Amino acid sequence: EVQLVESGGGLIQPGGFLRLSCAASGFTVSGNYISWVRQAPGKGLEWVSIIYSGGDTFYADSVQGRFTISRDNSKNTVYLQMDSLRAEDTAVYFCARAPTITTNFDSWGQGTLVTVSS
């Protein structure tokens, strides 16, 4: 069974940093396209970042230079390092799998809440 489990969310002060984890089971992260998608409270979905099966990484303009996506194939886990956090980064962060580059996200985690506030 394909499963994604996020962890690492919490309350953090503006300017702080946090690392989210997305542990996968039932498939290999190295053979798929894994994205982070966030949803601010009461708002819609916003794509944040993606790591391709080949290792290429891409970011939304809103997080470029502050967030870094990576993966550990031995742990079958994808990470999102979030630095210089801002209040507007407050959201539930989902990781999602796309089996192909056409990013049809067919499996999602349950999400982890990040709250940036002093």
Partner 1 sequence: DIQMTQSPSSLSASVGDGVTITCRASQSISSYLNWYQQKPGKAPKLLIYAASSLQSGVPSRFSGSGSGTDFTLTISSLQPEDLATYYCQQAYSHPTFGGGTKVEIK
The CB-of-75 to partner 1 minimum distance in angstroms stands at: 22
Which one, of 81, 111, 66, lies nearest residue 93 by Cα?
Answer: 111
Per CB under 8 A, the list member of 8, 23, 46, 66 interacting with partner 1 is: 46
Check if the beta carbon of residue 73 is closer than 8 Å to that of residue 30.
yes
Kindly compute the dihedral angle of the four CA atoms of residues 60, 61, 62, 66, in this order, to the nearest 10 degrees: 90
Binding string to partner 1 for residues 3 to 42, with x set by CB under 8 A, is what? --------------------------------x-x-----
Taking CA atoms, 52 is separated from 60, 84, 113, in Å, by 15, 25, 24
What tokens does 80 get? 């999102």
Q: Which 77-116 positions form the footprint of partner 1 (CB under 8 A)?
A: 94, 96, 102-106, 108-111
The CB-of-2 to partner 1 minimum distance in angstroms stands at: 12
The footprint of partner 1 (CB under 8 A) covers 35, 37, 44-47, 50, 58, 60-61, 94, 96, 102-106, 108-111
